[in-house]
């Protein structure tokens, strides 16, 4: 049974107000059992074990947060991740920008994907927010037509193994000269610049489903996250630094850090 602290219901409204009205997607993680993670947006997520449906209570070990929402545990050994759908509201080519983020408690801090619409094996890549091989926060946008990318990387190894942290990436929507800011706990950890490989023109909307806790597709997960993730979000607007800081401020007591 879903249990939610009604006293903090307004906090979700505050979060959604910051995410705006352009295709906001929020996955509160309010289910402790079952085979469905409902989203506030166009789609839900399915607990998955390499493509097979999986009960949350078996492999995802839901941990109740002070606000009544949950964090879920992701383990590469079991190929456990959350599989979404492919939808136009998850693609942001030629739009006014995008932002995405989540709370994470990583058990390992290398090659861990947090939120993605990115299938390496199927050469159908759009974007991914992940911890790269150097343990840095990394946001990659991919142009599969040109086999080119724009990548923003945090200036230092800002992610702490085992600590609960809020991570976020924002993109201004200017494909030719993109500005992508990365944030950890509400503070920018890069200068907005990206490194281009090839002749990047823009992301190309493809058929890859949205995933949380891995990249790839539901049956062939790659760069699987190891650790806990709590309410991830995506929105079709570039959040300002002040808005990211406000999201962090709102969610700190919900997560239990204040």
pLDDT of 1 over the 60 cut: no
Considering the domain delimited by 6-255, tell me its CATH architecture. Sandwich (2.60)
**Dist. CA 228–CA 4, nearest whole Å:** 20
Please compute the mean of the pLDDT values over residues 100-122 and round it to a whole number: 94
What integer pLDDT is reported at residue 4 of this predicted model?
47
Domain ranges within the chain, ordered by starting residue: 6-255
Per-residue model confidence as pLDDT tens digits over 176-212? 999 999 999 999 999 999 999 999 999 999 899 999 9
What integer pLDDT is reported at residue 7 of this predicted model?
59
What integer pLDDT is reported at residue 216 of this predicted model?
85
Work out the pLDDT band at 2, boundaries 50, 70, 90.
very low
Copy the structure tokens of residue 107: 């058990």
**Dist. CA 65–CA 70, nearest whole Å:** 5
Per-residue model confidence as pLDDT tens digits over 64-106? 999 889 999 999 988 899 999 999 999 999 888 999 999 999 9
pTM, full prediction: 0.95
């Amino acid at each position: 049974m879903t249990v939610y602290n009604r006293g903090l219901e307004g906090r979700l409204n505050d979060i959604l107000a910051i995410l705006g009205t352009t295709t906001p997607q929020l996955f509160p993680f309010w289910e402790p059992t079952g085979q469905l993670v409902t989203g506030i947006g166009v789609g839900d997520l399915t607990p998955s074990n390499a493509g097979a449906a999986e009960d949350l209570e078996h492999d995802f070990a839901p941990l109740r947060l002070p606000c009544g929402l949950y964090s879920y545990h992701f383990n590469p050994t079991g190929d456990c991740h959350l599989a979404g759908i492919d939808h136009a509201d998850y693609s942001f080519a030629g739009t006014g920008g995008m932002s995405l983020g989540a709370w994470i408690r990583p058990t390992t801090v290398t090659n861990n994907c947090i939120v993605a619409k990115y299938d390496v094996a199927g050469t159908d890549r759009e974007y991914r927010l992940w911890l790269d091989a150097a343990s840095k926060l990394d946001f990659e946008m991919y142009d599969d037509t040109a086999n080119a990318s724009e990548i923003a990387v945090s200036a230092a190894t800002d992610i702490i193994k085992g600590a609960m942290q809020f991570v976020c990436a924002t993109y201004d929507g200017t494909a030719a000269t993109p500005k992508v800011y990365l944030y950890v706990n509400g503070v920018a950890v890069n200068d907005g610049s990206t490194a281009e490989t090839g002749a990047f023109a823009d992301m190309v909307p493809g058929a890859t489903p949205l995933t949380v806790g891995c990249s790839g597709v539901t049956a062939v997960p790659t760069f699987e996250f190891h650790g806990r993730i709590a309410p991830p979000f995506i929105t079709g607007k570039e959040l300002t630094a002040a808005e990211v800081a406000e999201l962090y401020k709102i969610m700190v007591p919900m997560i239990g850090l204040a």
